[in-house]
Structure 1
């Protein structure tokens, strides 16, 4: 239970910091490389749980979670474009969604 609480608090902290970093994204360390670190963490958690106990149901759940998280990132990007405008569009050109230098 302690690990879950730490994970949730860390995820909330990174979500808060990432929102603040969008005001001046190039000045914030690893936010130069990817935008959705908390969604990446959830993707890794889903696939890690699948790999711990592989099954067809687990694969379907991890795949469904991946699709849902991908569309969550797309919707959030649209919201950020409306809220932050051209500064966010410039930030999108210099960063990746989930994996640095890949995707």
Structure 2
């Protein structure tokens, strides 16, 4: 199992640097009972950022149009825990939904 390759490790700091300030800002503005909504919205925003950054980084290069799945062509080179970076956007979106469900239950 590959832990990380390329810029895949950026998933973690992007998620933390967006969701933590969103949660703290929401807590400061609306009170502690609304902090989970800030964290959830921060996770959703970081999901979008990670998805589009992963799409950009893992797209095939222009010189690879003849053999798009050839190793070393730039396709899925940026991974974290064996998932391409753009797929982590869906994981972060699911985490955002989980935070909301846990908060509301």
More helix by share: 1
Shorter-chain TM range is 0.3 to 0.5
Using the size of structure 1 for normalisation, the TM-score is 0.43
Greater C-alpha radius of gyration: 2
TM-score (norm 2): 0.42
